[in-house]
């Protein structure tokens, strides 16, 4: 499902794009002006006149929030923190002692990708897309382990409350998941030991220290607003197609759009209305995340029952699946209110 291509091949490419060309324009000059001061055209930033160069134009006025240093200062810190989190939880993810290490390392990789995507119109696209692709491979491997961590943790909780013989039968299924998790961690360690991982970290740290800004006039607030509009449009389309009870996979996709919108807004480093918007989106993500976790566990349990061919395990799994169904119902019931809070907060943060 996940390949190592991006981690093993990383061609070195320029971090910035060539300067954007301004459109040609006519520079007026009065007929009585001296010959050396008469200009005719400005073509691709080169002044063409009677073999004389005009004085350079005055710099454009500084616009708060849009000058190059402010774009870099907005992107750099959040990107740097995400990279630091990757490094901070690497050792714990290798050892597997605390499942939160894998979770936090995975979240950090997803933040890196989301920040680079949200700021993509302002950055050098070649360098940005390559970094996002490389990080995606690592995030995918971490995601496999995280999914198993969540399922195993939930099943241990369920097993404790079932009682024999269902507790023992469920432990049989848990052991299968634990074997799969070990294989996933072995792959993660192999990726982390590969020299290309250290090269990736170095490139990410360089991008955080000197973000490859290609469009210094990009408006980060508008980029965040655009991500919100994409989320809102996706939800409208979803409910127009399926009504008030959309399919599980589509709700999960909506959650992904929500994450992108949230991470884009984090680039703004603002409190107030933006802070309220971020809090509301976090609530929406939690509701949809609970729904997705229940869906994933139910699907995997059904597969495991077929794989082991144990009727006792099937009975135990059935009891857990019933709990998954109940959690899904609760999440769907909470979803409209969570969305309403996000939409209300968005109206204040990004008024149309």
Write the secondary structure of 77-144 as one string of H (helix), E (strand) and C (coil). HHHHHHHHHHHHCHHHHHHCCCHHHHHHHHHHHHHHHHHHHHCHHHECHHHHHHHHHHHHHHHHHHHH
What's residue 42's pLDDT?
37
- Give the mean model confidence (pLDDT) for residues 289-314: 94
Average pLDDT, the chain: 83
What's residue 131's pLDDT?
93
More confident call, 29 vs 175: 175
Q: Confidence class of residue 45 from pLDDT cuts 50, 70 and 90?
A: very low
For residue 59, pLDDT beyond 60: no
Beta-carbon contacts of 66 under 8 Å, excluding residues fewer than 6 positions away, are 216, 217, 218, 219
- Give the mean model confidence (pLDDT) for residues 237-266: 94
CA distances from 188 to 1, 108, 137 (A): 14, 15, 10
Least confident stretch, 50-64, 78-92, 237-251: 50-64
- Give the mean model confidence (pLDDT) for residues 199-218: 90
Q: How far apart are CA 281 and CA 284, in angstroms?
A: 5
Least confident stretch, 18-32, 75-89, 152-166, 251-265: 18-32
Sheet holding 39-43, edge to edge: 25-26, 39-43, 46-49
DSSP codes joined into one string, 245-262: S--HHHHHHHHHHHHHHH
Q: ∠ CA(283), CA(237), CA(143), 5° rounding?
A: 50
Condensed to tens digits (0 to 9), the pLDDT of residues 95-106 reads 988 999 999 999
What's residue 135's pLDDT?
95
Would the CA dihedral through 300, 101, 267, 133 be positive or negative?
negative
Residue holding tokens 């794989």?
Answer: 307
- Give the mean model confidence (pLDDT) for residues 260-277: 91
For residue 37, pLDDT beyond 80: no
- Residue 225: closest CA among 252, 276, 260: 260
What's residue 333's pLDDT?
97
Helices (H), the chain: 5-8, 68-88, 90-95, 99-118, 125-162, 166-193, 195-209, 220-242, 248-266, 273-308, 311-349
More confident call, 71 vs 49: 71
Condensed to tens digits (0 to 9), the pLDDT of residues 68-95 reads 457 788 889 999 999 999 999 999 999 9
Q: Confidence class of residue 47 from pLDDT cuts 50, 70 and 90?
A: very low
- Give the mean model confidence (pLDDT) for residues 241-247: 94
Q: pTM (2 decimals)?
A: 0.75
Least confident stretch, 24-33, 82-91, 142-151, 275-284: 24-33
For residue 242, pLDDT beyond 90: yes
Quote the percentage of the chain above a pLDDT of 90: 67
What's residue 293's pLDDT?
95
Q: ∠ CA(101), CA(326), CA(334), 5° rounding?
A: 75
For residue 181, pLDDT beyond 90: yes
Q: Confidence class of residue 176 from pLDDT cuts 50, 70 and 90?
A: very high
What's residue 317's pLDDT?
95
What's residue 129's pLDDT?
92
For residue 272, pLDDT beyond 90: yes
Per the DSSP assignment, residues forming a β-bridge with 48 are 41
DSSP state of 213: B
Condensed to tens digits (0 to 9), the pLDDT of residues 105-142 reads 999 999 999 999 988 888 999 989 999 999 999 999 99
More confident call, 120 vs 283: 283
For residue 186, pLDDT beyond 50: yes
- Residue 297: closest CA among 172, 155, 159: 155
What's residue 69's pLDDT?
55
Least confident stretch, 37-46, 80-89, 311-320, 331-340: 37-46
Question: What number of other Cβ atoms are within 10 A of residue 175's Cβ?
Answer: 12
């Amino acid at each position: 499902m996940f390949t190592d291509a991006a981690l093993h091949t990383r061609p070195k490419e320029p971090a910035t794009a060539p300067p954007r060309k301004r459109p040609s324009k006519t520079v007026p000059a009065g007929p009585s002006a001296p010959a050396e001061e008469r200009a005719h055209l400005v073509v691709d930033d080169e002044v063409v006149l009677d073999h004389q160069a005009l004085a350079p134009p005055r710099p454009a006025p500084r616009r708060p929030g849009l000058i190059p240093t402010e774009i870099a200062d907005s992107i750099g810190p959040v990107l740097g923190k995400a990279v630091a989190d990757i490094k901070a939880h690497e050792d714990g993810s290798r050892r597997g002692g605390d499942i939160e290490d894998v979770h936090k390392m995975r979240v950090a990789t997803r933040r890196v990708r989301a920040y680079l995507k949200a700021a993509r119109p302002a950055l050098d696209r070649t360098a940005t897309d390559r970094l996002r692709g490389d990080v995606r491979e690592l995030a995918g491997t971490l995601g496999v382990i995280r999914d198993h961590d969540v399922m195993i943790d939930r099943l241990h909780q369920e097993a404790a409350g079932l009682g024999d013989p269902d507790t023992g039968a469920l432990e049989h299924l848990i052991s299968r998941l634990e074997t799969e998790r070990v294989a996933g961690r072995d792959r993660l360690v192999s990726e982390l030991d590969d020299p290309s991982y250290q090269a990736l970290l170095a490139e990410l740290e360089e991008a955080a220290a000197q973000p490859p800004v290609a469009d210094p006039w990009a408006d980060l607030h508008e980029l965040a607003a655009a991500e919100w509009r994409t989320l809102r449009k996706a939800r409208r389309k979803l409910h127009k197609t399926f009504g008030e009870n959309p399919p599980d996979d589509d709700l999960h996709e909506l959650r992904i759009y929500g994450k992108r919108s949230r991470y884009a807004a984090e680039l703004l480093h603002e409190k107030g209305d933006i802070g309220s918007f971020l809090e509301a989106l976090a609530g929406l993500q939690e509701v949809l995340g609970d729904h997705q976790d229940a869906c994933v566990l139910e699907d995997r349990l059904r597969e495991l029952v077929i794989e082991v061919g144990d009727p006792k395990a099937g009975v135990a799994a059935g009891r857990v699946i019933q709990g998954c169904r109940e959690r899904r119902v609760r999440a769907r019931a909470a979803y409209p209110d969570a969305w309403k809070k996000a939409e209300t907060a968005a109206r204040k943060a990004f008024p149309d």
